[in-house]
Amino acid sequence: MKLREALAGTGQVFTFTLRQFLRNRANNITLAIMVLAVLASMPVLTYVQGGEAQTEDLPGAAVTHVALDNQTDLPLSAAALAQDSYWRGVTLTDGPAAGADAVATVTATDGEYHITLTGEAGEEDMDYLRWCVVSLVEEARIAAAGVTNQQLDVLWSDYTVVLPGLTDEAPLPEDVYIESDDDFMDGFWVQYGYAIAVMMLCLMSASYVIRAVIEEKGSKLIELLLLSVEPLALLMGKIFAAMVYVLGLLALMIAGWAGSLVITATIFSSGSVKNIIDAIRSVLPAVQTDPAHLLLYAVVLVVSLLLGYLTMSFIGGLSGACCTSMEEAGSASSTVTLITMVGYLAACVVSAIPGSGVAHFSALCPVLSMFCAPVQYVQGNVGLWVLLVSWVIQAALVAGLAWLSARVYADLIIYRGSRVKWKQLFSMARSRKEAAR
């Protein structure tokens, strides 16, 4: 049978199923509760934390007047110290000042610069003033020499060392390079957040597919429906309807979260919202890249989520078809839950283990890849060709599940009796194949 014939009627099934999702009273009540919970989340969290943005108690100078006496040809000014919050509220003047609490005098002798501190300020203020003036002198010397920021970036840029016998394609072992704690934690949180998003998408969508399939089995119209619509089209219509419904639900959650931030900014200080957004941006380096990379990452995200969704939805649809009543929906969902949780937990472990071998394995392993492949690619741990091979493997798995569904779904949908095991599904598929011959 051609694919076009097998999918004939998918649109009608999609429309009918989506309409049923939208009309379901339990779905609407759950949706309303979730939106209200999201709207209240940020204001409640901010209230629990004190109702104000958490700010650091920055130290300040104990003096009231600081002077900078520049006796060199460098363009130094005490006003530059005002950029440091340590000197907030302090009067800053240029030249010698008899009434100043602290005076920093800068002189030059034979090309050497000297900084002399005088005054009655405390040791802490004097020490901090010394470092601030040293920084001003260094910046002025660099500017006077005509060195640009681009040249400084080149001067202080990173470099690699290649040992004898090694080439660019065979760099030093990875354990020679030590990643900073901040970079490691950013990578961990990106992987963790993406794994949670995939887990939610798989569990929510599969649950809707399972329930739709079981409810359909209880309908007496299903036998008539099978006469006009192919089994694969029946299942695909439900899968697409669940996908649209769940994506719409997630979009409402995101909109609710944005509304929650607006409510928080209205009730509390705007710094509360700024802290939340800064925390998110700190672990999402992709949002700080150029538009071309953002577009590429968006495509990678959409394709990866679609393949993962189709994989778990087919498994959920087959699991639901193996049941004969809503009482067995829990056991049908357990299959999807088990596979999803294994992939989620494995993804969290992978994010804590550095190494190209682990990155490539997590990107190519069929179930694990939908949790890890896009993140590993965005972080530069695997190349584009690895990501494409990962998609091919996932697409092959989806095609295999679609083939299995086309073989056994018609028999499962009219089956009445004890729950069918997965081992029996393959026996049914083989029997159908032999009968077709």
**Helix, strand, or coil here: 229?**
coil
Give per-residue pLDDT as tens, 66-86: 999 999 988 898 888 888 888
DSSP 383-421: -HHHHHHHHHHHHHHHHHHHHHHHHHHHHHHT--SSPPP
Average pLDDT for 239-248: 85
Contact between 347 and 281 under an 8 Å Cβ cutoff? The reply is no
Asked if residue 427 and residue 355 are part of one domain, the reply reads: yes
- In terms of pLDDT, which residue wins out, 242 or 234? 242
Give per-residue pLDDT as tens, 150-206: 777 777 666 666 666 555 544 444 444 444 444 555 566 777 778 888 888 888 878
Please say which residue of 136, 153, 170 terminates a domain: 153
Asked if residue 213 and residue 117 are part of one domain, the reply reads: no
Gap between the Cα atoms of 225 and 10, Å rounded: 12
Average pLDDT for 23-49: 81
Asked if residue 193 and residue 149 are part of one domain, the reply reads: no
Question: How many Cβ atoms from other residues are within 10 Å of residue 116's Cβ?
Answer: 12
Instruction: Give the whole-number percent of the chain exceeding pLDDT 90.
Output: 9
Number of structural domains the chain divides into = 2
Asked if residue 81 and residue 21 are part of one domain, the reply reads: no
The verdict on residue 355 lying in a domain is yes
Gap between the Cα atoms of 235 and 227, Å rounded: 15
The verdict on residue 386 lying in a domain is yes
Task: Say what the alpha-carbon torsion angle 432, 435, 436, 437 is, to the nearest 10 degrees.
Answer: 130
Query: Residues, the chain, total?
Result: 437
Gap between the Cα atoms of 55 and 211, Å rounded: 48
Asked if residue 307 and residue 213 are part of one domain, the reply reads: yes
Asked if residue 191 and residue 94 are part of one domain, the reply reads: no
Please state the φ and ψ torsions of residue 244, each to the nearest 5 degrees: -65, -40
Question: What confidence category does residue 260 fall into, taking pLDDT thresholds of 50, 70 and 90?
Answer: confident
The pLDDT assigned to 233 comes to 80
Give per-residue pLDDT as tens, 262-309: 787 777 665 556 666 665 555 555 444 566 777 888 888 888 888 888
Degrees to nearest 5, angle at CA 125 with 124 and 126: 90
The pLDDT assigned to 272 comes to 57
The pLDDT assigned to 120 comes to 87
Asked if residue 387 and residue 248 are part of one domain, the reply reads: yes
Asked if residue 188 and residue 139 are part of one domain, the reply reads: no
Asked if residue 220 and residue 140 are part of one domain, the reply reads: no
The verdict on residue 83 lying in a domain is yes
Question: How many Cβ atoms from other residues are within 10 Å of residue 316's Cβ?
Answer: 32
Average pLDDT for 331-356: 81
- Averaging pLDDT over each range in 190-194, 227-231, 328-332, 364-368, which range is the top one? 364-368
| Res 59 pLDDT > 80 | no
The verdict on residue 33 lying in a domain is no
Query: Assign residue 178 a region: left if phi > 0, alpha if psi is -120 to 50, beta otherwise?
Result: beta
Least-confidence region, from 89-98, 143-152, 386-395, 409-418: 409-418
Asked if residue 197 and residue 146 are part of one domain, the reply reads: no
The verdict on residue 392 lying in a domain is yes
The pLDDT assigned to 102 comes to 92
**Domain range enclosing 234:** 3-25+179-436
**Helix, strand, or coil here: 321?**
helix
Please say which residue of 153, 170, 198 terminates a domain: 153
Gap between the Cα atoms of 30 and 45, Å rounded: 22
Mean pLDDT over the full length of the chain = 77
* Residue 350 structure tokens: 């992978």
Asked if residue 187 and residue 125 are part of one domain, the reply reads: no
Residues 6+ apart with CB under 8 A from 241: 13, 14, 15, 17, 18, 21, 212
| Res 376 pLDDT > 90 | no
The verdict on residue 348 lying in a domain is yes
Query: Assign residue 420 a region: left if phi > 0, alpha if psi is -120 to 50, beta otherwise?
Result: beta
The verdict on residue 236 lying in a domain is yes
- In terms of pLDDT, which residue wins out, 432 or 255? 255
Asked if residue 429 and residue 366 are part of one domain, the reply reads: yes
Question: What confidence category does residue 58 fall into, taking pLDDT thresholds of 50, 70 and 90?
Answer: low
Least-confidence region, from 237-246, 249-258, 328-337: 328-337
Average pLDDT for 36-63: 69
The verdict on residue 242 lying in a domain is yes
